[in-house]
């Protein structure tokens, strides 16, 4: 048991080193290209760099073949996540429409769909690499699935506190709705494809399909337009519908379902201090 625990600590150390290098690459690249190229192009470039840094770090620093990136089933899992994300946001808007809070004002344009898709996919890839592929995976290895869900959800809410229109409730909303459901999508599959698809689908529907503010960001060209009018607890205020109690409840419900499936499929990881030798060995092997 002592040998396996020591090996797990080594793997965690290598993972932390890989994370710090990848994070530095993202920060430096973001600073270099800021203001020099269109925002959507910058998002895509940074996302590609984060993906490449993660893959390289997994292979040459962590010395493993990352199962969370392997191709089999990726299209199905990504598509499933995409459908859940788009469907969930459409469901939120449907509830707000029935409640008399969302008022469609007309059709927009197809022109923003391509850019909207690229931005949604880029942001989703970047954030899922950082929060799920790195932070959730390493925390889960050390402290188990449930602590990893709590910590990464709280962090995900906290980093959105600096967004325009953010407040304490919007950060709590992001933690409960996005943090939990995205952690659940990763935990139930053990791979990145579903959470990336879900994250991208939600952002794409919110910004490019419905023309709403994405996490407090500016509204952009969209397929349709509308206004939200009513109490802030329903509209989300300046932060947008992500801070609506409707979004919180719907996404949290789906997140709980995903975590329930994680338990049912025996995908829950136990803390390293509670794992047996066989489990600990499994956790730290997988060398390429």
Looking at residues 204-229, what average pLDDT do you find? 92
Q: Name the band, by pLDDT with cuts 50, 70 and 90, for residue 5.
A: confident
Please report the sign of the dihedral spanned by the C-alpha atoms of residue 127, residue 109, residue 226, residue 219. positive
CA distance 275 to 131: 24
What is the per-residue pLDDT across 233-266, written as a single tens digit (0 to 9) for each?
Answer: 999 999 999 999 999 999 999 999 999 999 999 9
Position 276 scores a pLDDT of: 63
CA distance 57 to 112: 35
Q: DSSP secondary structure string, 15-83?
A: HHHHHHHHHHHHHHHHHHHTTTS-HHHHHHHHHHHHHHHHHHHHHHTS-S--GGG-STTHHHHHHHHHH
What is the phi/psi pair of residue 163, to 5°?
-70, 155
Position 284 scores a pLDDT of: 44
**C-alpha pair distances (Å), 142 with each of 22, 100, 206, 225, 270:** 20, 47, 35, 45, 8
What is the per-residue pLDDT across 160-183, written as a single tens digit (0 to 9) for each?
Answer: 999 999 999 999 999 999 999 999
% of the chain exceeding 70 in pLDDT: 94
CA distance 99 to 218: 25
Position 33 scores a pLDDT of: 94
Q: 192: Cβ–Cβ under 8 A, 6 or more apart, which residues?
A: 68, 69, 128, 129, 132, 133, 186
Among 264, 277, 252, which residue's Cα sits nearest to residue 4? Answer: 277
Q: Is residue 188's pLDDT more than 90?
A: yes
Length of the chain: 288
CA distance 46 to 21: 14
Q: Name the band, by pLDDT with cuts 50, 70 and 90, for residue 199.
A: very high
Say whether 155 sits in a helix, a strand or coil: helix
Position 280 scores a pLDDT of: 41
Q: Is residue 287's pLDDT more than 80?
A: no
Q: Name the band, by pLDDT with cuts 50, 70 and 90, for residue 2.
A: low
Decide: 129 and 192 in contact? Cβ < 8 Å. Answer: yes
Q: Name the band, by pLDDT with cuts 50, 70 and 90, for residue 232.
A: very high
What is the per-residue pLDDT across 72-82, written as a single tens digit (0 to 9) for each?
Answer: 889 999 999 99
Q: What is the rounded average pLDDT for all residues in the chain?
A: 92
Taking only Cα atoms into account, the Rg of the chain, rounded to an integer number of angstroms, comes to: 19
Q: 264: Cβ–Cβ under 8 A, 6 or more apart, which residues?
A: none
What is the phi/psi pair of residue 93, to 5°?
-65, -35
Decide: 234 and 244 in contact? Cβ < 8 Å. Answer: yes
Position 277 scores a pLDDT of: 56
Position 278 scores a pLDDT of: 47
Position 184 scores a pLDDT of: 98
What is the per-residue pLDDT across 21-48, written as a single tens digit (0 to 9) for each?
Answer: 999 999 999 999 988 999 889 999 999 9
Position 217 scores a pLDDT of: 84
């Amino acid at each position: 048991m002592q040998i396996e625990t020591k090996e797990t600590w080594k793997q965690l150390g290598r993972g932390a080193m890989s994370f710090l290098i990848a994070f530095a690459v993202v920060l430096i690249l973001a600073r270099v290209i800021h203001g020099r190229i269109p925002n959507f192009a910058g998002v895509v470039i940074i996302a590609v760099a984060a993906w490449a840094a993660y893959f390289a770090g997994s292979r040459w620093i962590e010395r493993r073949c990352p199962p969370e990136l392997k191709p089999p089933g990726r299209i199905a899992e990504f598509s499933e996540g995409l459908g859940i994300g788009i469907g969930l946001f459409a469901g939120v808007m449907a509830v707000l429409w029935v409640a008399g809070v969302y008022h469609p004002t007309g059709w927009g344009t197809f022109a923003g769909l391509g850019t909207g898709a690229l931005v949604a996919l880029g942001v989703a890839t970047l954030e899922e690499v950082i929060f799920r592929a790195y932070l959730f995976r390493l925390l889960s290895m050390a402290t188990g699935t449930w602590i990893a869900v709590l910590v990464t959800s709280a962090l995900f809410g906290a980093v959105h506190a600096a967004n325009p229109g953010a407040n304490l409730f919007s950060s709590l909303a992001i933690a409960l709705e996005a943090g939990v459901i995205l952690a659940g999508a990763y935990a139930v599959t053990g791979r990145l494809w579903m959470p990336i698809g879900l994250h991208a689908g939600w952002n794409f529907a919110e910004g490019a399909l419905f023309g709403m503010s994405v996490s407090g960001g500016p509204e952009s060209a969209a397929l349709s337009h509308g206004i939200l009018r009513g109490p802030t607890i329903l509209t989300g205020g300046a932060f947008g519908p992500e801070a609506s109690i409707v979004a919180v409840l719907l996404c949290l419900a789906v997140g709980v379902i995903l975590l329930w499936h994680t338990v049912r499929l025996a995908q829950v990881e136990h803390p390293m201090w509670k794992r047996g030798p066989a489990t600990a060995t499994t956790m730290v092997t997988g060398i390429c």
